Amino acid sequence: MFFPIILNIAGLALCQNYRANVKLTAVGTTFQPSNPIELLGSISNTKSVIHCSAYCNQNVQCRTFGVNLLSLSCSLYEGHITTGSVVASSSLSQSSFVGGFIYESALFLNYNQTCSTAINRYLVCVGARLVCPINTFWNGSICVNQFYGNTLCQLDIQCRGDLTLICSINSSTCVCNSTRYYWDGTRCALCTNLVCYTQLYFIENQSAAPWTYFSYLYLAFNTPVTLEFSFRNDNLYWWLDDVSVNKIGNTTDLIINGGFETDDFTGWDLENPYGISFGGRVVNDAASHTGTYYYCDGATGAADFLSQTFNVIIGATYNVTYWLKGEGSSPSLANVTIKP
Ligand SMILES: *[C@@H]1O[C@H](CO)[C@@H](O)[C@H](O)[C@H]1NC(C)=O
Ligand SMILES: *[C@@H]1O[C@H](CO)[C@@H](O)[C@H](O)[C@H]1NC(C)=O
Ligand SMILES: *[C@@H]1O[C@H](CO)[C@@H](O)[C@H](O)[C@H]1NC(C)=O
Ligand SMILES: *[C@@H]1O[C@H](CO)[C@@H](O)[C@H](O)[C@H]1NC(C)=O
Ligand SMILES: *[C@@H]1O[C@H](CO)[C@@H](O)[C@H](O)[C@H]1NC(C)=O
Ligand SMILES: *[C@@H]1O[C@H](CO)[C@@H](O)[C@H](O)[C@H]1NC(C)=O
Ligand SMILES: *[C@@H]1O[C@H](CO)[C@@H](O)[C@H](O)[C@H]1NC(C)=O
Ligand SMILES: *[C@@H]1O[C@H](CO)[C@@H](O)[C@H](O)[C@H]1NC(C)=O
């Protein structure tokens, strides 16, 4: 994609120390940064590639520019040209170009020198020393753009801290600084039930099964969390009893009314967003697993949702247990999750 054109734009720069080399791509290309946040600004009425390149040169954060000589627009980007994509643009853009500033160790010889050392466009003066500009880090030879989410890292400084990314010790990737947030490809977004849940159990169209004991160890990433049972059984029923959650080594049950012995939904929340019939109810008969009561759900046509929310200690492991009986038939579904 690169044309072997090297622009030396020192002529436009204020002084010799602002000399920079730029590689220009083929005509008819545009730059797609890996994140929209990298657009530093756009300048209208830019009449030449050299002008756009000079605007970029004046901004220590600018590494890549895109210029369109038909619309006379010049866009400045923070990302190095290799961090985004250079794409062939549509037919009308035969006058567009992308320029990528060249970054090599020879340009960073003044790194960590005192600011009285000759300054250049690649470093900024902080606390009397020449250091990397914002949103970049020193990799031992040059200043490199900080990484976005789900990228391999060793240190926090390598991740975009301004987007609340830190380097996870466990996964060695840049992750959102709180488990209440997840990297949605562009930013740290608040976890929703749909993306941040842990599935403990899922089955569709099961065969009839007697009372069965389920037990899971759950490592808490969030607090509070919601344990949710979602059931559908168009012809018959699911039976649930003796739900409990306790921290390993602590016998306190965090679930209120886990055996439904109050004969109602005390402690629980039952939601029926699809307005289905034969949804969850508390039943009193000898069929319960223990005690007198149990939960019975024959949601028809779609699922309903039984849930309870409780506080946990982040980093601690919890024992989630319950008894479930399925009368079988299809369509049917059981979906047990824990979510923030
Ligand atoms: C910067 O220079 C100081 C003083 O010479 C030194 O202590 C420090 O380790 C240097 N930092 C880096 C990243 O090279
Ligand atoms: C720093 O990054 C540049 C560009 O990715 C790479 O060529 C160079 O090898 C890196 N230097 C070190 C010491 O990792
Ligand atoms: C995450 O980042 C935000 C914004 O910088 C900050 O307010 C919050 O305290 C950080 N949370 C943690 C757990 O570090
Ligand atoms: C299972 O439950 C989770 C959490 O509510 C939900 O996001 C997911 O879509 C459910 N899966 C199915 C197949 O219903
Ligand atoms: C057990 O867990 C309960 C509920 O979280 C808490 O109040 C109690 O202090 C814990 N006991 C011990 C010994 O940690
Ligand atoms: C990361 O690893 C540490 C140590 O192994 C562990 O205590 C912690 O729970 C882990 N955190 C996550 C989010 O996996
Ligand atoms: C989880 O709880 C069940 C019963 O409540 C118990 O039998 C099981 O040993 C517990 N598991 C762990 C790892 O503590
Ligand atoms: C479950 O059964 C229904 C029909 O009763 C069918 O449409 C669906 O595909 C089945 N699902 C699976 C996973 O077998």
**Residue 248: predicted pLDDT:** 95
Residues near ligand 3 (Cβ within 6 A):
164, 177-178
Residue of the nearest CA to atom 7 in ligand 2? 104
Q: Which residues line ligand 5 (CB under 6 A)?
A: 247, 250, 252
Q: What is the pLDDT of residue 193?
A: 61
Cα–Cα distance measured from residue 22 to residue 55, given in angstroms and rounded to the nearest whole number: 13
Rounded to the nearest whole angstrom, what is the distance from the C-alpha of residue 268 to the centroid of ligand 1? Answer: 58
- Tokens 């209208």 -> residue: 44
Closest CA to 75 of 108, 103, 111, 38: 38
User: Is residue 177 within 8 Å of residue 165, measured between CB atoms?
Assistant: yes
Taking every pair of C-alpha atoms in the chain, what is the biggest distance, in angstroms?
91
pLDDT of res. 91: 61
- Please say whether the structural domain 2-102 has been given the CATH code 3.50.4.10: yes
CA 302 vs CA 32, 112, 234, 274, 290: distances in Å = 42, 63, 8, 7, 28
- Measuring from atom 3 of ligand 6, which residue has the nearest CA? 170
Q: In 3D, which of 17, 41, 39, 37 has the Cα closest to residue 125?
A: 17
Distances (CA, A) of 309 to 144, 223, 225, 227, 320: 43, 9, 6, 6, 13
Closest atom of ligand 8 to CA, residue 330: 5
- In this prediction, residue 190 carries a pLDDT of 83
**pLDDT for residue 15:** 43
The domain made up of 198-339 is a member of CATH 2.60.120: yes
Which ligand 8 atom is nearest residue 204's CA? 13
User: Atom 11 (ligand 5): residue with closest C-alpha?
Assistant: 250
Q: Ligand 8 pocket, 207 CB below 6 A?
A: no
198-339 and 2-102 share a CATH fold: no
Please indicate whether residue 221, judged by its CB atom, sits closer than 6 Å to ligand 6: yes
DSSP 292: S
Q: Who's near 222: CB < 8 A, 6+ residues apart? A: 179, 180, 191, 196, 312, 314, 340
Residue nearest to atom 4 of ligand 6 (CA): 170
Tell me the torsion sign for CA atoms 41, 42, 48, 49. positive
pLDDT tens for the chain, 340 residues: list them.
Answer: 333 344 555 434 344 455 678 998 888 999 999 999 999 999 999 999 999 999 999 999 999 999 999 999 999 999 999 999 999 877 656 789 999 999 999 999 999 999 987 777 899 999 899 999 999 999 999 999 999 998 999 999 999 999 999 998 877 889 998 877 889 999 999 877 667 888 899 999 989 999 999 999 988 877 888 999 999 999 999 999 999 999 999 999 999 999 999 999 999 999 999 999 999 999 998 889 999 999 999 999 999 999 999 999 887 899 999 999 999 889 999 999 998 7
Q: In 3D, which of 146, 32, 29, 27 has the Cα closest to residue 84?
A: 32
**Best of 204, 234, 300 to mutate for ligand 8, by most ligand atoms within 8 A of CB?**
204
Centroid of ligand 8 to alpha carbon of 235 (angstroms): 13
In the prediction, which pLDDT does 196 show? 80
Map tokens 């609340």 to a residue. Answer: 164
CA distance linking residue 336 with residue 26, whole number of Å:
54
The alpha carbon of 316 and the centre of ligand 6 are apart by a number of angstroms equal to 9
Enumerate the domain spans of the chain: 2-102, 108-190, 198-339
> Which ligand gives the minimal distance to the CA of 114?
1
